[in-house]
Amino acid sequence: MALYRNINRSKLRRAIAAVELAALAPLLGTLIVGMVELSRGMMAKETLSNAARKGCRTGIQRDKSSTDAYNDALNIMTDNGYGSTLFNPQNPGGTTTGTIIGTITITVTDPGGNTLTDALNAPSGSSVSVQVGIPASSVNWVTSFYLQNAMIESETVVMMKQ
């Protein structure tokens, strides 16, 4: 008890605060990193949806092909910072330079329910759907170690060809 009386109360309060901070710092750090990762994932999901929407808008036009829809979706991704090292999907022609990273899936269905190979010659009333996906490792910094094979995908956007 004599030792406690000799210690200055303000020094004791600072020591207690330091111990509390040391105990809570890992929890706070984990919470902050989690918020940053979640925000990056949500931002990527929005970018994927924008790319799918733009590709679908292009694919439903009369004079546009599936390659045009692919290029517009790819341009949206590139404009938002997902270059060829983070997002490099296989193009509709089947050729891609480098490693394939991510997907752009374009499906054209005629009014009779038959799947067509290209949007260019699709009859009026055909549906065009576009879905864009990117690996979690291209988006997140920390969780990509835990989600190595996970894909972040856009909602499938479906529009009717004019």
What is residue 5's predicted lDDT score, i.e. its pLDDT?
A: 60
Residues 18 and 36: their CA atoms lie apart, in Å, by 26
Grouped pLDDT means (10 residues each) for the chain, 162 residues: 61 83 92 89 92 93 92 94 89 79 92 91 91 88 71 85 74
What is residue 91's predicted lDDT score, i.e. its pLDDT?
A: 84
Residues 105 and 64: their CA atoms lie apart, in Å, by 16
What is residue 96's predicted lDDT score, i.e. its pLDDT?
A: 73
What is residue 161's predicted lDDT score, i.e. its pLDDT?
A: 76
Q: How many folded domains does the chain comprise?
A: 1
Instruction: Report the sign of the C-alpha dihedral through residues 61, 63, 65, 69, in that order.
Output: negative
What is the token pair recorded at 50? 């924008």
Residue range of the domain that includes 49: 2-160
What is residue 155's predicted lDDT score, i.e. its pLDDT?
A: 84
